[in-house]
Amino acid sequence: MTAISPPGSTKFQIDLRRHLREEEEDRDLTRVICEIADASKYIINAIRTGDLGLAGTSNLYGENQLALDVLSDRILRKRMIHSGVVANILSEETSEVIEVDPGGKYSVAFDPLDGSSLVDVNLAVGTIVTIYEGSDLLQSGRNQVAAMYILYGPRTSLVYSTGRGVHEFCMNQLMEFTLTKENIQLQPSGNIYAPGGQRNLYTEGTEKYVSSLEEKGYKLRYSGGFVPDINQILLKGSGIFLYPHLRDKPKGKLRLIFELNPMAYLIEQAGGKASTGRQSILDIKPESIDDCAPIFIGCREDVERAEEYIARYG
């Protein structure tokens, strides 16, 4: 991993657009990524000062939507519609594909505000985005052409990949994203674990696996926000996150299209691995927009060990 310059440093800084240009990225894809980065400035504002109450509506999982979920969704959707390069849009907060422009080169799916129920207790949350070429958003994650997330923590950071490494940008005083780390890489195995889901509902394989991590002295690091939890593993270069299959929920909780595929793409780009415990996340062909899957994601050897436990004990 190459550390560039500390966020906020006055040294010459490479911003997101310039980085994409230097990578000779497709102009339309650059457009989509920069529009999302711009949209995040308005989402930050909503998080900082917006209404924390319910919107009075529910999403496709039957969960109550917060006013912030709805507003973040609207901010992103508007940007994507006006970008002029997007064919279809899909959001965790809406139940169907929004057809924008059949001539658009890319289609985009997003979780506008992951972890939104953590905003009222002032914990970190994020926006997760996946991008495909063409109009089909029900493809396996292997076909993603880009994935990114924006993390709203004490600082705001953006991590993206277009298949040529994973790069981190932090927002500066002018609200520009400037390069802070290039080509982020994970170690083969780690020393932290982030276990999601209720422990007394774990299957035997997951329980034995997590106990084995604890016996080895792995440190517990679970915030309840998928974006900060994955960001910690990526940026420290170490660890595993799991939200496994549970006895009462064989597909776990997290959503394949909006949450798992983009994170799996980023982690694999950084040399890590993402698995349901039985197959690679990126190889799953989604059957429906709201598909969920169990996930073990992070350092390669840690994920492979989880797969061994699941194969042996279920």
Report what 149 binds from ligand AHG, Mn ion, none; CB cut-off 5-8 Å by kind: none
Can residue 294 be called a binding residue for ligand AHG (CB under 6 A)? no
262 interface partner picked from Mn ion, ligand AHG, none, CB below 5 to 8 A per type? none
Nearest approach in angstroms of CB 292 to ligand AHG is 11
Residue closer to ligand AHG by CB (options 114, 302) is: 114
- The answer to whether 257 and 21 are in contact (CB under 8 A) is no
Complex with ligand AHG: residue 84 or 224, whichever CB lies closer: 224
Among all residues, whose Cβ is closest to ligand AHG? Answer: 226
Does 73 bind ligand AHG (CB under 6 A)? Our answer is: no
Among 25, 35, 73, 111, binds Mn ion (CB under 5 A): 111
Integer Cα distance of 229 and 197 in angstroms: 14
Binding mask 252-291 for ligand AHG (x = CB under 6 A): -x--------------------------------------
- In the list ligand AHG, Mn ion, none, the entry touching 134 (Cβ below 5 to 8 angstroms by class) is none
Between 20 and 230, whose beta carbon lies closer to ligand AHG? 230
Tell me which of 132, 152, 169, 226 binds ligand AHG, using CB under 6 A: 226
- Please list every residue from 75 through 104 that binds ligand AHG, using CB under 6 A: 92
Of the candidates 65, 116, 161, 162, which one interacts with ligand AHG according to CB under 6 A?
116
**Residue 25 binds to Mn ion (criterion: CB under 5 A):** no
Q: According to CB under 5 A, which residues from 74 to 103 bind Mn ion?
A: 92
How many C-beta neighbours within 10 Å does residue 182 have?
16
Q: Which of 225, 244, 252, 272 binds ligand AHG (CB under 6 A)?
A: 225
Residue 228 binding ligand AHG, by CB under 6 A: no
